[in-house]
Amino acid sequence: MPEASTAQRELTFAEAIREALAEEMRRDVRVFIMGEDVAEAGTPFKVLSGLVEEFGKARVLDTPISEAGFTGLAVGAAMTGLRPVVDIMFGDFITLTMDQMVNQAAKVHYMSGGKWNVPMVMRTTLGATRRSAAQHSQSLHAWFSHIPGLKVALPSTPYDAKGLLKTAIRDPNPVVFFEDKMMYKLKGPVPAGEYTIPFGVADVKREGTDITIVATSSMVQVALGAASLLDEIGVSAEVIDPRTTWPLDERTLVESAKKTSRAIVVDEGYGRYGVTGEIASVIAEGAFYNLDAPVKRMGAMHVPIPFSPPLEDVTVPTEQTVFEMARSMCRRS
């Protein structure tokens, strides 16, 4: 296990991302960043501030507003010896890159009988409640998780963000990396030393015995908050973050559900045909004879994300709604 022990140093989520990129760019000259306003602007979220100063404009490239164009360019660059990290500012804009990711990047290795590789990373964002309305708020990671040939990572802490991004950059396959844009200022421990986190290894964020809450990305903090509320009424919740939706650590999820006999899956993507459905099915099949209740799913409501704050706030799971779901499943009043 290449994970280093937790140190005292704290970084924000954004700083952890930036440090991972800087370390990998120092380690490997083939790594470069490309996207809209990634250089001097350092992205609108300031995640990349300072990188162009260290690595220069040849390795931190501002592009035209052409998501399909520069993503396609990255596929070709990855096939021919470079390691592109493409920045798609808002996860909603992945729609513009779908042919390049789904029909090209994901399939090149397979269609060529294993002869060409596409070692690229697409970094993008997810998450609502930023008052950005329907075209800047979606969590569309399920789309890529659906496609063979792609890997999908979605960290929930600064520590995981750094370790998973370094793994993504070193992976010989196309990896889509989703960052919760509401989490960039979240602080957490990140050791100064070198470490990576393997894909397909879930992390138990909180141990418990009565109910398993599987949560991804933005929903991990929500699940941990719900777990604290549950503690107060005597329910011990285990919170597990799969960290990658593909590859998926099915075993850890199933074993936890077998232990607790109840499970909720919380994810900010739309519930319909989504990540929650897939994971709930994995748990239902794997832990069927140990379950005391049907596996419950909690995702975004099936509405375009509305602008008005009181409307937007009810579209995504919250500590309170997760708490209430868990309480009812555990039959506590």
Span interacting with another protein, options 20-28, 67-75, 278-286, 309-317, rule CB under 8 A: 67-75
CB of 52 vs another protein, minimal distance in Å:
16
Residue 151 sits in the site that holds another protein (CB under 8 A): yes
Using an 8 Å Cβ cutoff, are 61 and 34 in contact? Answer: yes
Based on the shown chain and the rule CB under 8 A, indicate whether residue 302 belongs to the binding site for another protein. Answer: no
Question: Residues binding another protein: what is the number (CB under 8 A)?
Answer: 41
State the minimum distance, in angstroms, from the CB of residue 102 to another protein. 10
Residue 135 as a binder of another protein (CB under 8 A): the answer is no
Segment interacting with another protein (CB under 8 A) among 58-66, 189-197, 220-228, 276-284: 58-66
Residue entry with tokens 């994971």: 279
Residue type, 259: K
Task: List the catalytic residues.
Answer: 136
Q: 119 pairs with which residues across the strands?
A: none
Instruction: Return d(Cα 265, Cα 331) in angstroms, integer.
Output: 18
β-strand pairing of 187-189 with 10-12:
antiparallel
Q: Is 41 in the site for another protein (CB under 8 A)?
A: no
Nearest approach in angstroms of CB 86 to another protein is 11
For the bound state, the minimum distance from the C-beta of residue 153 to another protein, rounded and expressed in Å, comes to 14
By CB under 8 A, tell whether 74 contacts another protein. Answer: yes
Minimum distance, C-beta of residue 95 to another protein, in the bound complex (Å): 13
Rounded CA-CA distance 325/327 in Å is 5
Asked if residue 247 has a cis previous peptide bond (ω within 30° of 0), the answer is: yes
Q: Is 323 in the site for another protein (CB under 8 A)?
A: no
Site string for another protein, 159-198 (x = CB under 8 A): -------------xx-------------------------
Q: Does 116 bind another protein (CB under 8 A)?
A: yes
149 near another protein, rule: CB under 8 A: yes
Rounded Cα gap, residues 282 and 19, in angstroms: 35
Binding positions for another protein, rule: CB under 8 A: 32, 58, 63-64, 66, 68-82, 84, 99-100, 103-104, 108-117, 119, 148-149, 151, 172-173
